[in-house]
């Protein structure tokens, strides 16, 4: 069964979820296109060639741009390399970029599209759970710097997203678990039925072909689509928390990723970050012990870490001060005031932060 979700922003686009939906790429590319660049990681070389063949058969000039795996792709050097290929290939504003791979690849591909000629069309074809529920939807694109993750980027929406569930069959179990961290996040901030599904059927979490996993992915994407539709540029202009809610667990999580040199998976770091902010919310009186404990139990069902090694607080704190939510010298965290009730906690006392960190280390 195929599900089609519309992201109702100023320039609406569809997210198609199902088996075999990569076949719909030609329709998303459009009729006025001469050139297509498929940006992919080495592990996606064969899949990129599969996508390329029908486009070439339709007389399109298709370029495969291979970039490093994971976060190593999100650098200025790799970005410059992609620009070089586009320039040498004569890419114009009517041509199309395709991002094929996990979240890091689609982040990079989107920023390539946003920056080339001040913006060309692009299609996301995510191949991981993380890519499907997080990076591929919402128009956030970017690269990392030595100082932090996603500090350079742009908001640039795709013209469509194809989430082909068939590709999950070859995904390593650890990558499945990592992606499900973002799904669980959506459960805590916006849709409790996600948590109930995980708790009711823990034995299905490891099976990428299960109907429960497909439903979890669809629910996670639906949360992301609803959230970005009301606050695409993360301004919170209507007075609500808006898109910042999607950063739940990410302030500490991104700091851990950077501290680990991106050797830890994104979802593993975010899982730890969610438990940290749950501890923080509990200590500041926002949530009760039951909801705090539920964070650990849900994430442990998935098989994700809920604690981090001690003795790393000072470098993590320094890294968090560069987080995008920080204003001036004031740290800001997305916390819960109850299940499905995200809010911003600004400037918490550093002793409370340290106590919360000690509770997870």
Annotated binding site for Zn(2+): 182, 250, 266
Q: Which residues contact 198 (CB under 8 A, 6 or more apart)?
A: 180, 184, 187, 205, 216, 298, 301, 302
Binding-site residues from annotation for NAD(+): 103-107, 127-128, 140, 149
Element (H, E) at 273: helix 266-283
**Cβ-contact 272, 252 below 8 angstroms:** yes
The Cα–Cα gap between 283 and 49 comes to 52
What are the tokens at 144? 């990392």
164-178: string of b/e by CB count within 10 Å (b at 16+)?
bbebbeebeeebbbb
What are the tokens at 298? 């849900």
Q: Which of 105, 209, 99 is nearest to 165 (CA)?
A: 209
**Cβ-contact 124, 101 below 8 angstroms:** no
What are the tokens at 89? 């290939």
Binding-site residues from annotation: 103-107, 127-128, 140, 149, 182, 250, 266
326-349: string of b/e by CB count within 10 Å (b at 16+)?
eeeeebbbbbbeebeebbbbeebe
The Cα–Cα gap between 36 and 24 comes to 15
């Amino acid at each position: 069964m195929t599900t089609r979700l519309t992201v109702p922003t100023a320039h609406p686009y569809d997210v198609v979820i199902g088996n075999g939906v990569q076949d719909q790429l030609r329709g998303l590319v459009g009729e006025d296109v001469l050139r297509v660049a498929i940006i992919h990681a080495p592990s996606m070389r064969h899949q990129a060639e599969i996508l390329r063949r029908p486009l070439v058969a339709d007389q399109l000039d298709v370029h495969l741009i291979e970039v490093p795996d994971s976060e190593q792709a999100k650098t200025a050097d790799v970005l410059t390399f992609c620009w070089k290929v586009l320039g040498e290939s004569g890419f114009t504003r009517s041509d199309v970029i395709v991002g094929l791979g996990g979240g890091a690849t689609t982040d990079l591909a989107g920023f390539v599209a946003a920056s080339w000629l001040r913006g060309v069309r692009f299609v996301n074809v995510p191949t991981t759970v993380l890519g499907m529920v997080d990076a591929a939807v919402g128009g956030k694109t970017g690269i990392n710097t030595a100082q932090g993750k996603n500090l350079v980027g742009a908001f640039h929406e795709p013209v469509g997203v194809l989430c082909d569930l068939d590709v999950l069959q070859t995904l390593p179990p650890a990558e499945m678990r990592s992606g499900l961290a973002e799904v669980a996040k959506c459960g805590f901030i916006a849709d409790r039925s996600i948590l109930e599904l995980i708790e009711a059927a823990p034995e299905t979490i490891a099976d990428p072909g299960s109907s429960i996993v497909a439903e979890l992915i669809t629910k996670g994407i639906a949360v992301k689509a609803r959230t970005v539709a009301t606050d695409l540029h993360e301004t919170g202009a209507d007075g609500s928390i808006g898109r910042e809610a999607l950063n739940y667990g990410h302030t500490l999580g991104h700091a851990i990723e950077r501290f680990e040199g991106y050797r830890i998976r994104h979802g593993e770091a975010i899982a730890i970050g969610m438990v940290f902010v749950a501890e923080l919310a509990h200590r500041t009186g926002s949530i009760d012990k039951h909801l705090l404990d539920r964070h650990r139990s849900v994430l442990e069902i998935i098989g994700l870490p809920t604690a981090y090694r001690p003795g790393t607080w000072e470098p993590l704190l320094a890294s968090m001060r560069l987080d995008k939510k920080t204003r001036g010298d004031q740290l800001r965290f997305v916390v819960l005031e109850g299940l499905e009730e995200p809010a911003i906690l600004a400037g918490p006392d550093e002793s409370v932060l340290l106590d919360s960190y000690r509770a997870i280390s």
